[in-house]
Structure 1
């Protein structure tokens, strides 16, 4: 009888323990669901460039102005110089701003290390290297994502920025190929007609890229009569950029930082214009540059392009923050753009650039947070 009582007591304790554990598990699950359903505040970002002539006090005044006018985060371009970022970042953090290390990625103008290696650079279908024959503008010096040393150089820069204490993310810009098609609004400036993929603007025909493609697909793309219709060649280049991004993601996360990126307006458009399919990347947040002014569109296009990107990211953990180009915009249009971004699923909005924001635009930004 005593043995039966002991067995019964043990069974009762186990049952109570299991019930308690189930209750605890349910509470944990409920908490996780509640947390996941919590709406995060709509974030306001601004891109800025570090200037050697600025003192700490000048930066502090600048950061105070951003914070007082509703800005939450600053993306700081230091030309991937971690030492400069180490000096500036704490000043921004003390003013209550998030800091993101903005770097030029495939396009590395005046990169002292890269310039020692002409073989690292992309080459056009017409045989012109970005090392000494640059498309569109003189600062277009594009490294090949297919060159292992060029790729490693980029990852080394990512790591140096990810190690900076006060940085929230490493922010990749120019993470693509040169523009095969310019935004339509910019074509008159360059006196160009781009109704097809022109040889001078079609990259990367560097030896290392051509060889790598041939190893994977068994053909020399230089022998193709119309490379533009070779889907494998296009996909190869999309994959090469994705590989650079995914490697950067692993590096940033290894150091407890996120990876963010400035990208073209929405994935299908980015694919067509610059070989960039950002909805396929491992990346925490994207800031598509929905510069409607460049495309001869009106401000309502901000809503369309934002929604398109949000839809393409469904099922992924990547957040989208709409980017807008301020200089030609009225304060009223800034207010409209913010509302369009919010109403079409963006998690925030970013302004290019900090130095260009007028007092009227600041007022519109601040009022939109009320």
Structure 2
């Protein structure tokens, strides 16, 4: 009789553990990009559509414009939506201030700067997380958004290094094979990073026999991103808002692909972008990756909100399944990328699935 009782206890414990993480209502969000040229009436109509479709919150990219964000917050709140200030953090394409400082940008192992030699795509213009001036610039932008009245959080995106490995389904698009770390995609070897690393570890990564297995060098970069996040957390909380972030699917994967170890950050909530189609995975991978993240955050206060990529879904039935998989594996909500991709059918499915969870 002892074994069945033990199994029953373990099962009950697992339910209790998930229940503790679900003390708050399971929420639904959507990422959107704002356009200052659109009217308030247009946004009121869009926000009402989201609310009617079961959406609870909007994560708005205003290109770090606090004025535009301040204009949109009351419109969204009037329609019953919470607002998060979505910011592209370390990747700052067309940042007019940063572009005046070429030395702020990350440098690849083969000596090329993101300022004028951008990896993969033209909008990859990554700032160094170590250099004092570039860090201060990013954190200043965070503070500008944190001051906007009525927001729920500052929502960090691109809070990492450039992709050392692309998601597998994207490799053919760039005619790439990435079976190993390639120097043109390996960052940041700028003078500030190399100098600080040498001071701390008494070796130069530029002359390392194999940087791919140099754990101190990898951890140095992981910690550089963590330091920016931790400072952003202090700024956000100083202004009585939360800090959240869009991140790669789960910590070990994020570590491997983009030098991002989000389970070690001081942060209120993460939104892992569990875009299964990017990795040639099936829909059940949404549950798998959610569970991986939840497990890695065991004992921490950080919550997980599963990101779902709408164009990667084959049907509304898959959309419902993805939502249920996230909830089953202890996410506190789901968010959809992005607003433009949500069809009327998608919104009906979201609203119906939300109603079924009550």
Tell me the secondary structure at the aligned position of residue 109 of structure 1.
coil
CA distance 1:314–1:237, shift in 2 (3 Å): same
Matches within 5 A, 1:37-56: 39-56=23-40
Contact kept? 2:21, 2:330, Cα under 8 Å: no
TM-score by length of 1: 0.90
Contact kept? 2:159, 2:225, Cα under 8 Å: yes
2:184 is aligned with 1:200: yes
2:97 is aligned with 1:113: yes
Task: Give 2:325's match in structure 1, choosing from 335, 340, 349.
Answer: 340
Task: Give 1:276's match in structure 2, choosing from 252, 256, 260.
Answer: 260
1:38 positional shift: 7.4
Q: CA-to-partner distance for each residue in 1:264-296, whole Å, 9 max, x for gaps?
A: 000000000000000000000000000000000
Q: CA-to-partner distance for each residue in 1:179-235, whole Å, 9 max, x for gaps?
A: 000000000000000000000000000111111111111111111121111110000
2:273 is aligned with 1:289: yes
Q: Aligned Cα RMSD in Å?
A: 1.1
Aligned to 2:58: 74
Q: CA-to-partner distance for each residue in 1:137-177, whole Å, 9 max, x for gaps?
A: 00000000011110000110010000000111000000000
2:301 is aligned with 1:317: yes
Distance 2:73 2:199 in 1: 44
Aligned to 2:222: 238
Aligned to 1:264: 248
Task: Give 2:118's match in structure 1, choosing from 100, 115, 134.
Answer: 134
Aligned to 1:360: 345
Aligned length: 336
1:312 positional shift: 0.4
Tell me the secondary structure at the aligned position of residue 52 of structure 1.
coil
Query: Highest Rg: 1 or 2?
Result: 1
1:53 positional shift: 2.5
TM-score by length of 2: 0.93
2:358 is aligned with 1:369: no
Aligned to 2:69: 85
1:40 positional shift: 1.3
Contact kept? 2:246, 2:270, Cα under 8 Å: yes
Tell me the secondary structure at the aligned position of residue 79 of structure 1.
coil
Give the number of the structure with larger relative contact order, counting CA–CA contacts within 8 Å between residues 6 or more apart: 2
Contact kept? 2:22, 2:330, Cα under 8 Å: no
Q: CA-to-partner distance for each residue in 1:93-127, whole Å, 9 max, x for gaps?
A: 11110000000000000000000100000000011
4+ aligned runs moved over 6 Å, structure 1: none
Aligned to 2:197: 213
Contact kept? 2:22, 2:332, Cα under 8 Å: no
**Which segment drifts farther, 325-334 or 243-252?**
325-334
Distance 1:369 1:145 in 2: 39
Distance 2:80 2:132 in 1: 39
1:54 positional shift: 1.0
Query: What are the ranges of 5 or more consecutive residues in structure 1 without an aligned counterpart?
Result: 1-35
Contact kept? 2:106, 2:114, Cα under 8 Å: yes
Distance 2:306 2:322 in 1: 9
Tell me the secondary structure at the aligned position of residue 327 of structure 1.
helix
